[in-house]
Structure formats: C-alpha cells, structure tokens
C-alpha cells in the first residue's frame, strides 16, 4: 500500500522528520510518499498560518493521489485543511492531531495534549470537540516553544515540553500524553520512558490508522459533507462574444 504524508509548511527539516517517523512506523510493504507545501508558511502557528497553508496543501495532496497514494496524512497537529482534503480526495485522509488523540483514547481514559504555542490551544480544543474526543482530554497545554525552535534549540524544547508533561500528569491527572506538533515526532519514546505513561506521536498513529483503513478497503464517503466539489463555471472568467 502507498500512503502519502504532506507537511503543510515549507520547512524541509520538519518534512524530513515526519517522513522518517512515518517510515519507521510503517509495516513492511507500506510505502510512504513524503511531500512538502513549498508555497506554505515556514511554520503553522495559529489561524492565519493555517489559512495560508491550505491552497498549497491541497495541491500537494492532489499530486500525491495522482502519484498513486491510496491514503493520506496531513502532518500538522492543527489538522489543517482536513475537511477540504476529505472532500477532494478519494482515499481516506487523517490529520496527525485527530490520529494522536484517537490513539490515546484507546490506551487511557484521560489524556493531555502538549503543544507548542498558546495560539494553537483554541484550535486544538475545537478540533477535539468536533472529533468527539474533548471528554477524554484532561488539558491542552502549551510549552511556549515556537515550532521552528524544536529544530534549532532542541535542549530547551525538551526541557519545556517535559515540564508541561509533568504538570499534565500531576495537576490534570493525565494518564497519557499526545505530542501536539509534527516536529515532536521523534521525542515520543524517550518521553514515555522518562514519565512512565504512554506518550503518543500523531505521525505514527496516523500511519497505523491509515494502514488499517486500507486493509479494510475503506474510502472516504462521497455522500453528504465529503461529497466531491461541484464543477462551477465562473461568469467573471467568460470571454465576451
């Protein structure tokens, strides 16, 4: 099976991180096709960055499907452009935010999300509510580490993320932690060993969920909300006779 993973931002090091994490999680026989939105922002931090990322993301996903990808992963914890992607593509699509939270709900009654900046917290809370997972979420905590600092200052990032995990466990009674950024994909195993609870990476979770969907032969329903967009003729583009 062939699964695409698309980084909605234009930072190559993050694309490389998520592609490596996806390939490590993939079963034998699963091919991971990695793409990057070169027209997108350097990182996605809040509503404006997310809106700017969507056109290039959808283009990259369309290229991935034309290249033979049968399922798709959006490698941003905000699940940027997810509904539009599901409407546009045939194969199943998941964002790493939804994937990580769904996986956490299988292994813990209460989980917390530890993300980057406070500006992302309302987005993640809204996404959890829409996915029906808000009741399982003890908290969404911001480490106040900018996305790009995960790569440029990993020691400071590790310290701040670790401090928020500790608070989530002791103050919020979290039983598992979901790492709330694609750039944290390679931190899960070490943090799980350090804190003694499941620490879940959305990239690996998304790969396993998409492998399962393809094994079951599932495609996105085209009735209702995820129906393919209708072709429209724009009168403003018509050439006068």
pLDDT tens string 35-47: 999 999 999 999 9
Which residues, 6 or more positions from 208, have their beta carbon under 8 angstroms from its beta carbon?
Answer: 25, 103
**Domain extent listing, the chain:** 2-96+204-225, 97-201
Q: Which two tokens stand for residue 99?
A: 């994937």
Indicate the CATH number for domain 2-96+204-225: 3.40.50.12500
% the chain with pLDDT above 90:
91
Where residue 151 falls among pLDDT bands split at 50, 70, 90? confident
Average pLDDT, the chain: 95
Among the listed residues 48, 60, 160, 181, the one whose alpha carbon sits nearest the alpha carbon of residue 113: 181
Where residue 236 falls among pLDDT bands split at 50, 70, 90? low
Write the burial class of residue 172 (CB in 10 Å: 0-12 exposed, 13-18 middle, 19+ buried): middle
Q: What is the pTM of this model?
A: 0.93
Res 98: pLDDT: 98
pLDDT tens string 24-82: 999 999 999 999 999 999 999 999 999 999 999 999 999 999 999 999 999 999 999 99
pLDDT tens string 69-116: 999 999 999 999 999 999 999 999 999 999 999 999 999 999 999 999
Res 230: pLDDT: 86
- Tell me the backbone φ, ψ of residue 38, rounded to 5 degrees: -65, -15
Res 179: pLDDT: 97
In the block, which residue shows the tokens 């919020």? Answer: 172
CA distance 62 to 54: 12
Res 152: pLDDT: 87
CA distance 165 to 138: 12
Pick the CATH number of 97-201 from 3.40.50.12500, 2.40.10.220, 3.40.720.10, 3.30.460.30: 3.40.50.12500
In the block, which residue shows the tokens 């009168």? Answer: 235
Span 159-172, average pLDDT: 97
- Asked if 25 contacts 208 with a C-beta cutoff of 8 angstroms, the reply is yes
pLDDT at 231 over 90: no
pLDDT at 208 over 70: yes
% the chain with pLDDT above 70:
96
Q: Do domains 2-96+204-225 and 97-201 have the same CATH topology?
A: yes
């Amino acid at each position: 099976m062939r699964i695409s993973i698309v980084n909605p931002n234009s930072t190559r090091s993050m694309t490389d991180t998520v592609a490596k994490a996806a390939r490590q999680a993939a079963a034998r026989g699963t091919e991971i096709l990695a793409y990057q939105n070169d027209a997108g922002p350097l990182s996605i931090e809040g509503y404006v960055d997310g809106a700017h990322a969507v056109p290039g993301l959808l283009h990259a996903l369309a290229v991935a499907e034309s290249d033979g990808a049968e399922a798709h992963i959006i490698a941003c914890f905000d699940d940027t452009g997810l509904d539009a992607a599901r409407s546009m593509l045939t194969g199943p699509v998941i964002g790493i935010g939804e994937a990580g939270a769904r996986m956490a709900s299988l292994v813990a009654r209460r989980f917390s999300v530890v993300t980057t900046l406070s500006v992302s917290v309302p987005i993640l809370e809204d996404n959890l509510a829409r996915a029906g997972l808000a009741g399982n979420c003890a908290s969404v905590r911001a480490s106040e580490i900018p996305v790009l600092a995960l790569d440029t200052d990993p020691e400071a990032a590790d310290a701040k993320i670790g401090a928020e995990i500790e608070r989530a466990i002791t103050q919020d009674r979290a039983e598992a932690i979901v790492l709330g950024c694609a750039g944290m994909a390679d931190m899960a195993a070490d943090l799980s060993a350090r804190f003694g609870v499941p620490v879940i990476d959305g990239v690996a979770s998304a790969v396993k969920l998409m492998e399962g969907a393809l094994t079951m032969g599932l495609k996105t329903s085209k009735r209702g909300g995820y129906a393919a967009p209708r072709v429209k003729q724009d009168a403003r583009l018509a050439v006068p006779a």
